[in-house]
Structure 1
């Protein structure tokens, strides 16, 4: 087998193996899963997530997901727990322990201490009859038939299954809490994701110049306004209300279709009923309108009053697109 074929075959087999295992998890979700989620939801404490090895790595990701979706969570490494980190666990906390086998030496040492604290213990494990499975108050079954590793040794499919179970828990809690886009924005203020959730049209329009012409403005005035304000567009304003729009494309079409332009005014070439968005709308909503209508600029207004222009380039520069 050629090297390229070997790589493609291995990659496809890995994806296929993991996909089948993940699909099977749906059949493992039961009443115990429901009770575990309800326990976390009703708890006044945090979720303390613990594990060892690759399960610890997955645990860190689950903690990040829980925290970002409204469920306070802390990671506690199972190996460090018995050397002082057990103090992380407070009275009202729920402990979520992750282990494929449920029989790791560190887990066997840790679990009795957790039980002595009388905290609720939830297990994510592939073996319900294991030491962890037997000790836990609730077991979230992450059983997989085999690893993607051809030797069935390297944690691959099993860690993916643990991650999916953790995501399922987090999303269930998100829905129970009614966690909204506004809530999400509070925890994700940075980067393009944050901007999609909090950046508003007013934040964009304030960066731009504010072109405008009256219905009686002559063509020279219109062309100069579009050129000077560098947005490729100008609204036609009457009594501070938008009655039309003129783009640089409209100017080109006017020159092509009219041999004599002297005497033409803005109202003669404007497009009536332009697309308008609220001054307070999210910038990502402006992007949606721009894309749906295949336009480059969008006018903004507040209570019917013109407030500015949003250009596609603004949204690209902000990382919204």
Structure 2
């Protein structure tokens, strides 16, 4: 008996997918391509560039100001003459066992404290005088052989002007200020022998950064204070400034490095080189006795 096969010639259709399987497929696709949880890289780069640009502007502005100060003291006669006179007077003060009193208010006061710290580390007699406390008894720290250094960018700080009227005319007076000529600095008026150490900036902080916070001006003032301290120390100690500083700074990394170098120098004992072979004579042998003696 022949076998007969039924052939279905009707058009074939795709099997219908179950909704559940479709959901599973979409779920697997989501796992393979997770959504972005961070901003696009281009956005992050733009924000980073803005932050870095603003930060670098602060540093470059300070660098420009310091460069201008260097040029000023090299090219301006009044500035260079003021520095030379300041070093001469303070050298005389140190030799007469006097001291330098540094006085400032606010951020300038902090600059003054940094200057005092630098002076002391270099073995120079120096102290900080608080303007308000000076009017309430601390003015007794001032001696006849002392000098005073005011730090004021405006040159007209009210607290310093008030204190000025109680300082004898015989006391040498110096000022670090944003002015380039003594006649522009109110603190130096009626003080013909007063000395100005200019510390101007090429543009205001508000123009540079949109806010008048003391930044560039304090950087320049600190540099002028350091300039005065190191120049004065070099004038007094000549080539011994380094040793004086090391004696006054035994702590921290600076002190540790100094001790290490000192130890290395003490260990390195020079040894004379022999130019020829030397024969050391042996002591004569004692005479033989007893058996075997010749």
Please state which band the TM-score falls in when normalised by the shorter chain: 0.5 to 0.7
Matched ranges for 1:1-321 at <5 A: 2-29=46-73, 30-43=80-93, 44=96, 45-114=98-167, 116=168, 118-127=170-179, 128=181, 129-135=184-190, 137-149=194-206, 150-177=209-236, 178=238, 179-199=240-260, 282-283=262-263, 302=269, 304=271
Paired residue secondary structure (1:113): coil
Paired residue secondary structure (1:25): helix
Q: How many Å separate the matches in 2 of 1:303 and 1:39? A: 44
Q: How many Å separate the matches in 2 of 1:42 and 1:144? A: 31
Q: Please report the RMSD computed on the Cα atoms of aligned residues, expressed in angstroms.
A: 2.3
Q: List 4+ stretches of structure 1 deviating above 6 A.
A: none
| Counterpart in the other structure of 1:221 | none
Offset, 1:134: 2.9
CA deviations over 1:237-275 (Å, ceiling 9, x no partner): xxxxxxxxxxxxxxxxxxxxxxxxxxxxxxxxxxxxxxx
- Which structure's relative contact order is higher, taking Cα pairs within 8 Å and 6+ residues apart? 2
Q: How many Å separate the matches in 2 of 1:303 and 1:145? A: 54
Q: Is the 8 A contact 1:17 1:148 kept in 2?
A: no
Offset, 1:61: 0.4
Q: How many Å separate the matches in 2 of 1:173 and 1:32? A: 13
Paired residue secondary structure (1:146): coil
**For the structure 1 residues 130 and 183, does the alpha-carbon distance in structure 2 shift closer, same or farther, using more than 3 Å as the test?**
closer
Gap runs ≥5 in structure 1: 201-281, 287-299, 306-321
Identify, as 1 or 2, the structure richer in strand: 1
Q: How many Å separate the matches in 2 of 1:81 and 1:146? A: 33
CA deviations over 1:140-168 (Å, ceiling 9, x no partner): 00011324452351111111111010111
Paired residue secondary structure (1:48): strand
**For the structure 1 residues 77 and 3, does the alpha-carbon distance in structure 2 shift closer, same or farther, using more than 3 Å as the test?**
farther
Q: How many Å separate the matches in 1 of 2:154 and 2:105? A: 11
Normalising by structure 1, we get a TM-score of: 0.60
| Counterpart in the other structure of 1:259 | none
Paired residue secondary structure (1:189): coil
Normalising by structure 2, we get a TM-score of: 0.66
Residue-pair matches, total: 210
Offset, 1:59: 0.3
Offset, 1:133: 3.7
